[in-house]
Amino acid sequence: MLRPISAMAADWNKTGFDARSVADVLKSLNAGSSAASKSIQLKVPEIADEGSVVPVFVASKIPNTQMIAIIVDNNVHPLAASFVFSNGADPAFSAQLKVRRTSAVKVVVQAGGQYFRASKEVKVASADMCS
């Protein structure tokens, strides 16, 4: 059954999306400490011709994945996306991100009350369009 729009809006992490530092984003996600994990698949191009449309694919093989967030270090607002998964949902998705300039793209996964991370750098060849 669908939830009312007002209830869905309550789940939105306004503090995280308004944050201007990676530390503040991690604090809003309660993910101050996280362990590196090879069970997180992060696909981004090594070089993006244009930073306004950077394809990304994320999948978590960590059991009981509840949330996946994408953080772009050098963006003005680093939290680029955050997804919450219900039990049984496949924790995988594709998206297109705006990457302001060459930056680390980080993924934070919450699973079973713990936090995990993965990261890759994306070099932006043409960043002038994304300021």
Report the run of H or E that residue 23 belongs to, with start and end: helix 22-28
pLDDT of residue 130: 44
Q: Is the pLDDT of residue 126 over 80?
A: no
**Over the range 93-125, which residues count as b (16 or more CB within 10 Å of their CB) and which as e?**
eeeebebbbbbebbbbbbbeeebbbbeeebebe
Residue 11: what pLDDT?
62
Note the pTM of the prediction, 2 decimals.
0.85
pLDDT tens readout for residues 4-49 = 444 444 467 888 899 999 999 999 998 888 999 999 999 999 999 8
pLDDT of residue 1: 44
**What pLDDT band is residue 86 in, cutting at 50, 70 and 90?**
confident
Q: What is the mean pLDDT of the chain?
A: 87
Residue with tokens 């950077």: 54
In the chain, the domains with their CATH numbers are 14-130 (2.60.40.2470)
Residue 74 has a CB neighbour count (10 Å cut-off) of 17
Strands 103-111 and 47-48, bridge-based pairing? unpaired
41-75 pLDDT tens trace: 999 999 998 889 999 999 999 999 999 999 999 99
Q: What is the pLDDT of residues 87-119, one digit of tens each?
A: 878 999 999 999 989 999 999 999 988 999 999
